[in-house]
Every structure is written in structure tokens, then in C-alpha cells.
Structure 1
Amino acid sequence: MGIQIQVDAKDGSGKFSAYMAVPASGEGPGLILLQEIFGVNGTMRQIADYYAEEGYLVLVPDLFWRQEPNVELNYDEASWQKAFGFYQGFDQDKGVEDIDAAITALKARQEFTGGVGVLGFCLGARMAYLAACRCDVDAAVGYYGMGIENHLDEADNIRGRLVLHFAENDEYCPAAARNDIHAALEPREKVELYTYPGVDHAFARPASEHYHKPSALMAHERSVAVLRKTIGPDYNLSHLWDKHCEYEFNTRNVEDTMATMVAEPYVNHIPTLTGGVGYKDLYRFYKHHFVDVNPGDTHLIPISRTIGDTQIVDELLFCFTHDREIDWLVPGIAPTGKYVEIPLLAVVKFRGDKLYHEHIYWDQASVLVQLGVLDPTGLPVAGRETAAKLLDETLPSNTLMPTWPNSENKN
């Protein structure tokens, strides 16, 4: 996706390269992405492309250029040793100057629409913190930074928002260092500090042996949230989701449905393990097992909608007559002709203005009871009553609990 550009050093000592990734829209707020000790390698370029998908004009400056231009290392033992050599020889004050030069270069681009954030990993996290202290940036985000505790005297210079993600088991930023950072930064209004339990340094890098997907996802959501609030871009996620549902259930157009999604999306219907991962399989799923197999009277009744910075959570009733086999919902069950109403929850994640994934939840036991293929006698399950109580909370509670009457007169 990206290209290499040249940036003029502010001290007149030369030019250095930077990898630039442009969002699909052709423009966006600026994000300076700061490298680990391994240079601007494939991982950093992939992250840049990822944030370009989120809507940012991303620039990844070569921070080691004063020692050796275009350092690009892997994660084997020899590369580790070489990376630490570059780290030990790194002049961080000159590094901040180079970050400032990258900001100037980014602002001069015609693709730049205003607002600048910095985001870094490892060494880059410390540099993101120092950029927040010394440069004109609207937001700074750091992942498992090391050495930040040695620069807390500069915190009074922070003007924008600052988010720092720490790993509980990080030997490069142990508990004592985190305690100093919390004591100095936590009282500040524009600072957010997060520690992820049970994880180690580099928990957000997929190639790392310490990669922890749940923590990485949570950290990414928090990072994008602060960028959205400070520099944008702003998207009407509710409208985007409504259009997606319109193509799925009203016009029933698979091509239009897929056009609302990123290049490689996924859908996971949790109770039945149905859906698809990647464009090819998801298209196949939508085309042959979802869009056209839904009953003609299928309709959604919205109950509530929670809109975040990167996702929507929809609470609704999914209603239909079981007049055909529905592959994705009750695979292998022949049509029963029964009318069904089920509470359903959709967690919809976006990247930029495109859907990235859907996690869909419902009570499969309630579906099977309503279809008459599961006998609820003696089981703590209910049929259409679950939908009725969602609409009317005054309907009786605890009817499945045989011990409920026993507590009536107890204190």
C-alpha cells in the first residue's frame, strides 16, 4: 500500500527515508508511527497499512538513519543483538528532532487534512512520550515503552492527550517504573494509563512469542478511540451499519453487502460457528448460505444501540417464519413452519468507514424450543418468552427457578 518518501532533517545534516501509507479516501489526519528497535521492518509497514485502513495518513520515519540508513531487522537472535546495538547507539534527542521533521513533512503533504498523532512501540513508545512533551502533537500513544520513568520531569510540557499501554510482566518496564509513571501522570486530566495483566513485552506484535490477542485488541480499541476524539476522522458508524443490514435483508444484494466491508473481513455467528473469514469464504457464505436463505418475512426489531469509536453493539429481536432450511441459524433442521422471535446481539467492529467483523450472539436453545425440536421440560430454557420479556420487563421473572418461592419471606 505504501511508498517511501524523503524527509529533510531539521539540523541540515541530510535526508532520511519514511514509509508512508495513505487511506483509501486519499486523505486523512496525520499519524507518525514510531518503530521498535528493529527498524522500519515488515511489521512496522503492516501496522502503518493497518492504521491507513483506519483512515489515517501514516508516516513511519527511519529513526536509526544517523547510525545506518534503512535498518530492517527480523526477530532472530542475531537480529536481536544487532537491534540492541542500534538502541544503545541511538541519540534520542536527535530522534525527537527527526520526529518533529517528520511531523513537518506530514503536514506539508496534500493528503493531510489536519491533526497529528504519534504512536509507538517499545523504543517508539518512549519517543512518542517525548514527542508529546517536546513537539506539537494532538495525541500520543505508547505501547510497552521503556525508560519513560526517566523523563517524567518533562510531563508538564504535554499539551495533547497521552495514552500509555503497559505489560504487567514486562522486564523492560517493571512494576517500580510503572508505579513512578502512574504517580507522575495519572492525576493529569489528559492522560490514560493501562496495564494488561499476565502479558509480557511486545504483547501487541503478532510475530512475537508474547503476542496476546485479547490484550492487543483492547489496546488497539483504546488507541483508536483517543485518536478519533482528538484528530478524527469522524464516521457515522450507525449509518454504515444500517446500509449493510439494508443490503443483507432488504435488497439482498451480496455484492453491495461486501462493498461495505474491508478487503478481508470476517463474520462469526457464535452459537452455530457459521460465517466466513476472508473475502472469498465470506462471499461464498453470504451468497449461498445467508442472504437468500433467510425467510421472506425476516425482520429486525431494534431494541437498543450503543455506538463507540470503533464499533457498534446492537440489541434487537430477530423474527422470521421457519418456512425453509436456514443454514446459518439452524443448519440441518427441516422447515417447521413455526414463527420465531429471538433476542439477538450484534457486535460490529469497523476499520475506518468499512465493517471489519461481526460477532453475532443469540440463545440457540430458545430457537430450538420455538421450532419444537427441543423439549424444554425439566430444562432451564425458554422459548418465545425470552423475546416477550425483552419487550416487557414486567413479565414474571425467575419462573425457571424451582427455589424462587422458597425465598419469598426471607430477609
Structure 2
Amino acid sequence: MGQWIKLQTPQGEISAWKTEPAQPARGALVVVQEIFGVNAHIRGVAEGFAADGFIALAPAYFDPIEPGVELGYDEAGIERGRGLIQRLGLDAAVDITRAAADALAAQARVGTVGYCWGGTVALLAALRLGLPSVSYYGARNVPFLDEAPKAPVMFHFGEHDKSIPPEMVQQHRDKLPQMDVFTYPADHGFNCDARASHHPESARLARQRTLEFFRKHLA
């Protein structure tokens, strides 16, 4: 079972949920939240990676502007979360990711995995920080696809995701042909079992591929 710790970052001290495997770690992961904060779902995602052998650290990215945010998946939560990511900005998110990775580096090789907004932060971690990363349905990825990657990145998208139409997915394949881009018969947020769009079969397959990616690149 994980616990809250304090993490020093360029944006100030923030909270982060950390959980560790019972066995020797296969690697360490910075788990990058959706727009809803480090809520019960994201803590559960971190626990799942620990069960599969990875140290997992989920920073509370919104703490520099509003500590302790945990939002639901209703319209009010979506609206509030969108406002928070605008206030935080992606540069600050990358700073926090770097600090989290540095905090884990003494224990194991580090990668990142991110969901929704966090999927774009995970992409930036591969492009700019050199961290092997898995990006789930990052709708904000496209402006960054011309940057030269410093580490491998894997992408997961839902084929019914209106926020990421097929032409956007294709840009990932065209501009980063060396990276794996997978699509699933699912909508946005298909990995999240707290959302109506949860698609268990797609989530299982994407997770299997994600674990294989990290076992390869963090070995």
C-alpha cells in the first residue's frame, strides 16, 4: 500500500503518492495524472504498477496552485480540471516530472506513464528529459511531434475518441515512425475504470503492451 510523501520541485514542495513492490523493483515510474488530480483512480493505477514490480510515484501536479485536488469525472470536475491545467502550464509540469524522476533515480531506472493531459506530459518527458514513456490518449501531443525524441515513447489511442480524430493519430505515425502507436475500439479515457468510457478489453491490452515496454526499456 502506498503513502503520501513530500517532493521538492522547482514549483515548490508538493505531495506525491508513492508505492513500492514487495519484490526487487523492475524499474521506477512517474505516474502522470489526468486533469482530475491524484484521485483514488490514479492512486490505484500506481498500486497496480507496484503489484507488477515497479516503484510508482504520482506527483500532485496541481499542488503549486491548489493543494489536495481530487476531482470527479462529471462536467464540474472536467471544467475545473481544465482550468487548473491552464493555470499550471506544461513547462511547470515538466519541471515537476523531472524532480519526481530525480527522486526515484537512486532506486531504479525511471520512465513515465501519463493519461489524458498526463499523456502529453509523458510525451514531453521522452522528448525533453530522456525518460522512456507511455502516453495514453494525449490530446495535446500534436504541437510537439516535430521535437527530436531523447527516449522511446509508446502511444495508446481510442478509435472513438472525438478529441483525437484519426488524422491526429496518423500524425504520430508520420512524425515519429520509430515509435509504437496503438489504437483500440474505445473512447477517450478507456483505461479509467471510474469513467463511463472504460473499456476493459482495451485497457488490458494497452496495459500488457505498457508493461512489456517498461520491462524492455527499464531493465
The interval holding the TM-score normalised by the smaller chain is over 0.9
1:3 aligned onto 2:3: yes
Alignment of 1:129-148 (within 5 A): 129-137=123-131, 139-148=132-141
- Report the 3-state secondary structure (helix = DSSP H, G, I; strand = E; otherwise coil) of the residue aligned with 2:41: helix
- Report the 3-state secondary structure (helix = DSSP H, G, I; strand = E; otherwise coil) of the residue aligned with 2:197: coil
| Percent of pairs with identical residues | 36
Shift of 1:79: 1.7
Instruction: Tell me how far apart the structure 2 counterparts of residues 120 and 167 of structure 1 sit (CA, whole Å).
Output: 15
Alignment of 1:367-378 (within 5 A): none
Could you tell me which of 164, 169, 173 is aligned with 1:178? 169
Instruction: Tell me how far apart the structure 1 counterparts of residues 77 and 101 of structure 2 sit (CA, whole Å).
Output: 29
Shift of 1:182: 1.6
Could you tell me which of 193, 196, 201 is aligned with 2:184? 196
Could you tell me which of 189, 198, 206 is aligned with 1:211? 198
Instruction: Name the one with the larger strand percent.
Output: 1
1:276-298 Cα distance to aligned partner (Å, 9 max, x none): xxxxxxxxxxxxxxxxxxxxxxx
Residue identity opposite 2:116 in structure 1: C
Instruction: Tell me how far apart the structure 1 counterparts of residues 29 and 66 of structure 2 sit (CA, whole Å).
Output: 24
Partner of 2:111: 117
Instruction: Tell me how far apart the structure 1 counterparts of residues 105 and 49 of structure 2 sit (CA, whole Å).
Output: 17
Instruction: Tell me how far apart the structure 2 counterparts of residues 133 and 76 of structure 1 sit (CA, whole Å).
Output: 32
Instruction: Tell me how far apart the structure 2 counterparts of residues 93 and 39 of structure 1 sit (CA, whole Å).
Output: 17
**Segments of 4+ in structure 1 off by > 6 A?**
none
Residue identity opposite 1:226 in structure 2: F
1:70-109 Cα distance to aligned partner (Å, 9 max, x none): 211111232222112212323101110110011111124x
TM-score normalised by length of structure 1: 0.52
1:55 aligned onto 2:40: no
Partner of 1:82: 80
1:316-350 Cα distance to aligned partner (Å, 9 max, x none): xxxxxxxxxxxxxxxxxxxxxxxxxxxxxxxxxxx
Instruction: Tell me how far apart the structure 2 counterparts of residues 226 and 105 of structure 1 sit (CA, whole Å).
Output: 22
Contact between 1:161 and 1:226, CA under 8 Å: does it hold in 2?
Answer: no
Instruction: Tell me how far apart the structure 1 counterparts of residues 29 and 85 of structure 2 sit (CA, whole Å).
Output: 23
Instruction: Tell me how far apart the structure 2 counterparts of residues 135 and 159 of structure 1 sit (CA, whole Å).
Output: 7
Instruction: Tell me how far apart the structure 2 counterparts of residues 118 and 83 of structure 1 sit (CA, whole Å).
Output: 21
TM-score normalised by length of structure 2: 0.95
Alignment of 1:381-392 (within 5 A): none
Contact between 2:158 and 2:190, CA under 8 Å: does it hold in 1?
Answer: yes
- Report the 3-state secondary structure (helix = DSSP H, G, I; strand = E; otherwise coil) of the residue aligned with 1:153: coil
Shift of 1:62: 1.2
Shift of 1:65: 1.8
1:162-186 Cα distance to aligned partner (Å, 9 max, x none): 1100111112211221122221012
1:72 aligned onto 2:70: yes
Residue identity opposite 1:63 in structure 2: Y
User: Which structure 1 segments of 5+ residues have no match?
Assistant: 233-411
Alignment CA distance shift 1:136-1:182 (3 Å): closer
Partner of 1:236: none
Instruction: Tell me how far apart the structure 2 counterparts of residues 195 and 38 of structure 1 sit (CA, whole Å).
Output: 23
Instruction: Tell me how far apart the structure 1 counterparts of residues 49 and 43 of structure 2 sit (CA, whole Å).
Output: 10
Instruction: Tell me how far apart the structure 2 counterparts of residues 182 and 136 of structure 1 sit (CA, whole Å).
Output: 20
Alignment of 1:93-108 (within 5 A): 93-108=91-106
Contact between 1:122 and 1:146, CA under 8 Å: does it hold in 2?
Answer: yes
Partner of 1:149: 142
Residue identity opposite 2:196 in structure 1: E
Instruction: Tell me how far apart the structure 2 counterparts of residues 216 and 127 of structure 1 sit (CA, whole Å).
Output: 20
Shift of 1:28: 4.5
Instruction: Tell me how far apart the structure 2 counterparts of residues 104 and 193 of structure 1 sit (CA, whole Å).
Output: 28
User: Which structure 2 segments of 5+ residues have no match?
Assistant: none
Could you tell me which of 67, 89, 113 is aligned with 1:91? 89
Residue identity opposite 1:177 in structure 2: M
Cα RMSD, aligned residues only? 1.4
Shift of 1:27: 4.3
Residue identity opposite 1:130 in structure 2: L
Task: Tell which has more relative contact order, 1 or 2 (C-alpha 8 A, sep 6+).
Answer: 2
| Bigger CA radius of gyration | 1
